[in-house]
Amino acid sequence: MFQNRHGVGRQGRNAMVCMALFSALALQVGCSAEEETAQAQAQAVTPGASVESGASTKLAPLSEQDITGAKLPGELVCTFSVAGNAYLHVAGNVASTADAQGVAKLGDRVEAIQAPGGFDGMLHGTTFKGDRLAIEVKLNGDAEGGGGGESPHHAATATYLLEDNPSRTLEGRWQCGP
């Protein structure tokens, strides 16, 4: 039987080459599956173009059509609202490393946003980012409400920054659940 200087025979060498090729192929397939999932999630949130020059730089309430039209992937949602009007609506999966996907509205344009960590990552507030928009949600105090089948909510502050504009702040409530 033929052996090289490392004591590995031809069959052993062929097995190692096959193993290396198989590992490389498995890694490539796994990576492309993750990329395809990320691309599918990004395509599911196609609410509109980013804010153009001269467009409004103030957050506006989302309509029911804005929210349902976004077709956000995720089993649970969080919403930042002021006086019963949703300004930020985000969906994510529990125990997931996939980004939570959501929408916010600047003037009359809906902007796609995301945050890392799925539902768990946004439950206690986080920073959401879009193409030109960043929104940080901070909780102010303990949970309130939650009776009668409703999820509890927190008093919260949403500070948002649009590219090349000063930050603005909204006081409202952050509610997460089904």
**Nearby residues of 125 by Cβ (< 8 Å), 6 or more positions away:** 136, 137, 138, 139, 154, 156, 174
In sequence order, the β-bridge partners of residue 170 are: 158
Which three-class secondary structure state does DSSP give residue 139? strand
pLDDT of residue 145: 80
Q: Quick check: 151 pLDDT over 90? A: no
Q: What is the DSSP string of 70-131?
A: T----SEEEEEEETTEEEEEEEE-TT--SPEEEEEEETTEEEEEEETTHHHHHTT--EEE-S
Q: Quick check: 21 pLDDT over 50? A: no
Q: Quick check: 49 pLDDT over 80? A: no
**Nearby residues of 37 by Cβ (< 8 Å), 6 or more positions away:** 98
Q: Quick check: 46 pLDDT over 80? A: no
First-to-final CA distance of the chain: 66
Instruction: Please give the biggest Cα pair distance in the chain.
Output: 82
CA distance 89 to 113: 9
pLDDT of residue 177: 87
User: Tens digits of per-residue pLDDT, 113-127?
Assistant: 999 999 999 999 999
User: Tens digits of per-residue pLDDT, 52-94?
Assistant: 445 677 899 999 999 999 999 999 999 999 999 999 999 999 9
pLDDT of residue 12: 53
Q: Quick check: 169 pLDDT over 80? A: yes
pTM, full prediction: 0.67
In whole numbers, what is the pLDDT of the chain averaged over residues? 77
Structure-derived torsion over alpha carbons of residues 39, 61, 172, 55, reported in degrees to the nearest 10: 80
